[in-house]
Amino acid sequence: MRDLHRGGPLHMLQQVGHDADGAIARLDLGPFRPFLVSHPDHLKHILRDRSDNYPRGAAMWDALGRLAGKGIGGEGAQWHASREILKPAFSARHLSSASEQMIDSILGAVQDLGRRAATGRPVDAGREMTRIVQRVIDPLFFGRLVPAEEGDRLGDAIATAMGSLLWRMAMPFMPHSIPVPGDRAFKAATRTVNEILRPVVHQARAGGAGGDGNDVVTRLLNGVGADGAPLTDEQVCDDIVALFVAGSESSAIALSWVWVALAQHPHVAEEVVREVDAVVGRDRPRYEHIRKLNYTQMVLKEVLRIYSVGWAVPRVALEDDVIDGVAVPAGATLAISPYLTHRLDSVWPDPHRFDPTRFTPERNRSRHPLAYVPFGSGVHQCLGEAFFGQEAALIVAAILGHYRVELAAPVGPKLSLTLQPREPVELILTPRR
Ligand code: HEM
C-alpha cells in the first residue's frame, strides 16, 4: 500500500483510484483502513439499495457531529425529523418564491464586490464567494436574525472549526478524551458559533423573527423532533450550524472553482458571457432566466464533476456485507469518492478534459444514474442541490454581466475536508460597461 505523504493526499487518491479503475480498493493508513469506493454500481449498493446497512458515523460524521450536532448533520430518527422539517424550505415552489429575495441579495453583494474591485487590487474569490452566498442564505435561512456584522465572524468561526477537525478525521480511532492538534482552535471556534447563534434562536423563540415565517429558524422552532416534542434550542442551533456549514462552505468553494475553470478554458468563458448577454442582457436577472442559461448550467455541472468539492462521502458498515465479491466486515469505514467516480474511463470518455457538453439532456440520459454524484445520492442526497443550481447561475450571471474576470495566478487543487484551491483564487475584475 502507498505512503500517504509521497506526493500528497490528492496524488495518493488519484494513484489508488487509477490503479483500482472502479474496483473497491483498500487504503492503508496505519490502524485505519477504509475501503475506497468509486464505481456507480457500488455507490448504488451503498447509498441506495442497502443504505440501512451503511449509515454515517464514520470519522467525518463523528467529527462533524461535534460541530453540527445530531440533527440534519447526523443519522437516525432525529436526522429524519430534521430532514422532514427542512425539506419544504428547499422545494421548487419555495425556491421560486424566494428568488426575488435571492436576486436582491446577489445584486447587493456584487455591488459591494465592485467597490472592493475598484481599488484595482485582485479580490480573493474564496472570501468574496463566501460573502455572497452568506448574504443569500441570511434572509432565507435566518429571516435576517443574524446581525450583518456578525456574518463574517460566524463564517470565519465555522471555517476554523471545520479546518481544525482534520486531525480528528485523520485519526478516527483516537478517543475524544485524548487531545489532538486543532482541538483548542475547534473549541474556541464552536464557542464563537454558539455565542452568535444562541441569542438568535432565543430571540426568534421569543417572537422576534424578522422574516415571513418561512425562514429556516422559524420552521425549526415550529417543528417537532423524533420524540414528537418541539425541538430544543440546542437542537435548533445544531441544525442551523449544520445548514450554514453545508450551505455556505461548499457553495463558496464550488463558485471559486468556477472562476478557475473559466480562466483555464477561455472559449468556454466566452460562450458563457455570450449566453448571459443574450439571456439577461442589461436587465435585472430574473427567475425565468435561470432555465434559459442552459450552457451556464452545463458549465456549473462540469465544474462540479472535475472539482468535486465533496470528494469523499464516508459511511460505516453495520453488518458484514459483500460488494461485488469484496468482503466488507461490520465496522468498516467506506469512503465513497465522487472525485474518482467522476474520473472513471469506463463512464466518462476522456475524463480529464473539461467539456460542459457532457451534460446535454441526451448524454445525461445515457449515463449510469450514479455516475455523477457531486451532491451524493439516496436518503442523504444534498437538500441544497437545486438551491445551489439557482444561486450559482444567478451569481455567475450577475458577475459576468458587470465584469470581465481574470485570474491573477494559476491555482491547483488540494485535499482537505473538501477539495479546495491550494492557493488563494485571486480575481481581477474589470467593469464591462
Ligand atoms: C456545491 C455545493 C454543494 C455540494 C458539493 C454539496 C454536497 C453534498 C453532499 C455530497 C451531500 C451528501 C452527504 C452524505 O451523503 O452523507 C450533501 C448533503 C447535504 N447538503 Fe449539500 N452540497 C452543496 C450545497 C448545499 C447547499 C447550498 C445546501 C443548503 C442550502 C446544502 C445542504 C445540505 C444538507 C442539509 C445535507 C444533508 C442531507 C441529509 O443528510 O439528509 N448543500 N451535500
**For 279-344, what is the HEC assignment?**
HCCCCCCCHHHHHHCHHHHHHHHHHHHHCCCCCCEEEECCCCEEECCEEECCCCEEEECHHHHCCC
pLDDT(433) > 90 = no
CA of 188 to the centre of ligand 1 (A): 25
CA of 381 to the centre of ligand 1 (A): 7
Per-residue pLDDT, averaged over 175-185, amounts to 75
pLDDT at res. 1: 36
pLDDT at res. 281: 93
Nearest CA to ligand 1 atom 18: 382
Determine contact, residues 174/180, Cβ cutoff 8 Å. yes
- Dihedral-angle region of residue 49 (phi above 0 means left; psi in -120 to 50 means alpha; beta otherwise): alpha
pLDDT at res. 171: 66
- Pick the most confident of 79-83, 130-134, 413-417: 79-83
Nearest CA to ligand 1 atom 40: 380
Query: Which ligand 1 atom is nearest residue 242's CA?
Result: 35
Pairing assessment for the beta strands 35-37 and 333-336 based on DSSP bridges = parallel
Nearest CA to ligand 1 atom 11: 382
CA of 336 to the centre of ligand 1 (A): 15
Per-residue pLDDT, averaged over 28-35, amounts to 80
pLDDT at res. 144: 67
Per-residue pLDDT, averaged over 405-421, amounts to 92
Nearest CA to ligand 1 atom 39: 380
Query: Which ligand 1 atom is nearest residue 338's CA?
Result: 10
From residue 325, alpha-carbon distances to 55, 321, 322 in Å are: 21, 10, 6
Read off the pLDDT band of 3 (50, 70, 90).
very low
CA 258, CA 399: separation in Å to the nearest integer?
Answer: 12
pLDDT at res. 33: 84
% the chain with pLDDT above 70: 91
Nearest CA to ligand 1 atom 27: 247
CA of 374 to the centre of ligand 1 (A): 9
pLDDT(5) > 60 = no
- Name the one residue in this structure whose C-alpha cell is 436587465: 283
Query: Which ligand 1 atom is nearest residue 141's CA?
Result: 30
DSSP label of 121: S
- Pick the most confident of 4-8, 202-206, 398-402: 398-402
Domains detected in the chain: 8-428 (1.10.630.10)
CA of 93 to the centre of ligand 1 (A): 19
Identify which has the larger pLDDT, 171 or 222.
Answer: 222
Per-residue pLDDT, averaged over 307-322, amounts to 94
CA of 47 to the centre of ligand 1 (A): 14
Read off the pLDDT band of 175 (50, 70, 90).
low
pLDDT(349) > 50 = yes
pLDDT(6) > 60 = no
Read off the pLDDT band of 64 (50, 70, 90).
low
| Pocket lined around ligand 1, Cβ cut-off 6 Å | 56, 72, 83, 243, 246-247, 250-251, 254, 309-310, 313, 374-376, 380, 382-384, 387-388
Per-residue pLDDT, averaged over 294-319, amounts to 96
pLDDT(270) > 60 = yes
Distance of CA 213 to the CA centre of its chain: 26
CA 276, CA 289: separation in Å to the nearest integer?
Answer: 9
Identify which has the larger pLDDT, 193 or 280.
Answer: 280
CA of 238 to the centre of ligand 1 (A): 15
pLDDT(48) > 50 = yes
Per-residue pLDDT, averaged over 136-157, amounts to 77
pLDDT at res. 23: 97
pLDDT at res. 4: 41
Q: Which of 297, 382, 391 to mutate to test the pocket of ligand 1 (most atoms within 8 A of CB)?
A: 382
Read off the pLDDT band of 174 (50, 70, 90).
low
Query: Which ligand 1 atom is nearest residue 308's CA?
Result: 5
- Dihedral-angle region of residue 307 (phi above 0 means left; psi in -120 to 50 means alpha; beta otherwise): beta
Nearest CA to ligand 1 atom 12: 376
pLDDT at res. 321: 98
CA of 376 to the centre of ligand 1 (A): 8
CA 212, CA 4: separation in Å to the nearest integer?
Answer: 50
pLDDT at res. 58: 55
CA of 408 to the centre of ligand 1 (A): 30
Each residue's pLDDT tens digit, 66-99:
676 688 988 889 999 999 999 999 999 999 999 9
CA of 382 to the centre of ligand 1 (A): 4
Per-residue pLDDT, averaged over 200-224, amounts to 78
pLDDT(186) > 70 = yes
pLDDT at res. 323: 98
Nearest CA to ligand 1 atom 42: 384
CA of 312 to the centre of ligand 1 (A): 12
% the chain with pLDDT above 90: 61
